[in-house]
C-alpha cells in the first residue's frame, strides 16, 4: 500500500467542481494515458450521482469507502450527505488523480489513499476500522488486469459490515458477474441520463 493524506481542518469552502473544464481535461488526458484503468471519456452525470447515492442510509454510515474517485465526481455529493463525524476513504492508484483531489478537497472527513481497492481491508485496519458501511465503485471491472476484479470483489465482501452495501455503477452489464458470487443479494437500475447509460447495482451484505 502507498501514501495517504488527511486534510487538516474542515473547510467551509466547497470543493472546486469535479465537472470544471480542468477536471474534465485531466480525466480525458488520463483516459488516453490509461484507457483500461480509467475506461471512460466523461465522468458520471449529476443524475447518476443522485440515483447511485439515494438508497444509502446516511444516518448509519460511519465509514464510507470509494474506489476510483478519479477527478472527484462523487466526492462533494458524498460529503454533502455524510455525518459530521463520519470518515470517507477514497482509494485510487493514479497519482494525477490523487494530486488533483488533494488540491480540490479540504475536509477533515476525507481520507485520500493512493493504492488499490484490492487492499481495502488493510487500508481500513491501518486507520482503526474493522468494516466499511458502504463501498462505492465506478471501477472498470471488465478491463482491469486478470484476477484483479475478482480479488477486489472478494476483499469488498469481507470489508463490508452486515447490512452495508457494495454500490457499483458501470456501463457493461457483465460487471455484475464479478461481485455476484461474493455478494448475491442485489438490487439494480439503469440510468439513461449518462454517457453512456449506466447500470447501477446495490449489493447488500447479509
Ligand X SMILES: C[S@@+](CC[C@H](N)C(=O)[O-])C[C@H]1O[C@@H](n2cnc3c(N)ncnc32)[C@H](O)[C@@H]1O
Contact 113, 89 (CB under 8 A): yes
70 binds ligand X (CB under 6 A): yes
**Cα–Cα distance, 164 to 162 (Å, whole number):** 5
**Closest distance to ligand X from the beta carbon of 9 (Å):** 26
**One of 23, 26, 53, 68 touching ligand X (CB under 6 A):** 68
CA distances from 40 to 33, 37, 89, 99 (A): 12, 9, 22, 20
C-beta of 60 vs 99, nearer to ligand X: 99
**One of 38, 63, 105, 123 touching ligand X (CB under 6 A):** 38
Nearest to 96 by CA among 66, 115, 70: 70
Of the candidate spans 35-43, 54-62, 79-87, 186-194, the one that interacts with ligand X by CB under 6 A turns out to be 35-43
166 binds ligand X (CB under 6 A): no
Q: Is the peptide bond preceding residue 196 cis, with omega within 30 degrees of 0?
A: yes
C-beta of 97 vs 178, nearer to ligand X: 97
C-beta of 17 vs 85, nearer to ligand X: 17
149 binds ligand X (CB under 6 A): no
Contact 15, 106 (CB under 8 A): yes
Radius of gyration (C-alpha) of the chain in whole angstroms? 15
Number of residues that bind ligand X (CB under 6 A): 24
Show the cell assigned to 119.
Answer: 487492499
3-class secondary-structure state, position 147: coil
Of the candidate spans 1-9, 65-73, 82-90, 106-114, the one that interacts with ligand X by CB under 6 A turns out to be 65-73
- Which positions touch ligand X (CB under 6 A)? 37-40, 43-44, 67-70, 73-74, 91-94, 97, 116-117, 138-140, 144, 148
Amino acid at each position: 500500500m502507498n501514501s495517504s493524506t488527511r486534510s487538516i481542518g474542515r473547510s467551509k469552502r466547497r470543493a472546486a467542481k469535479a465537472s470544471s473544464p480542468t477536471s474534465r481535461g485531466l480525466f480525458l488526458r488520463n483516459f488516453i494515458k490509461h484507457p483500461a484503468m480509467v475506461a471512460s471519456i466523461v465522468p458520471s452525470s449529476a443524475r447518476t450521482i443522485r440515483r447511485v447515492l439515494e438508497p444509502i442510509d446516511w444516518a448509519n454510515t460511519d465509514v464510507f469507502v470509494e474506489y476510483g474517485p478519479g477527478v472527484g465526481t462523487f466526492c462533494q455529493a458524498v460529503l454533502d450527505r455524510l455525518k459530521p463525524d463520519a470518515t470517507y476513504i477514497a482509494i485510487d492508484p493514479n497519482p494525477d488523480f490523487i494530486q488533483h483531489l488533494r488540491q480540490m478537497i479540504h475536509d477533515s472527513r476525507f481520507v485520500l489513499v493512493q493504492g488499490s481497492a484490492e487492499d481495502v481491508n488493510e487500508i481500513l485496519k491501518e486507520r482503526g476500522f474493522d468494516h466499511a458501511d458502504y463501498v462505492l465503485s465506478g471501477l472498470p471491472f471488465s478491463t482491469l488486469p486478470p484476477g484483479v476484479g475478482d480479488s477486489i470483489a472478494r476483499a469488498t465482501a469481507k470489508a463490508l459490515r452486515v447490512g452495508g452495501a457494495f454500490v457499483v455503477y458501470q456501463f457493461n452489464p457483465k460487471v455484475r458477474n464479478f461481485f455476484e458470487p461474493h455478494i448475491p443479494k442485489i438490487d439494480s437500475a439503469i440510468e439513461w441520463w449518462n454517457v453512456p447509460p449506466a447500470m447501477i447495482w446495490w449489493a447488500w451484505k447479509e
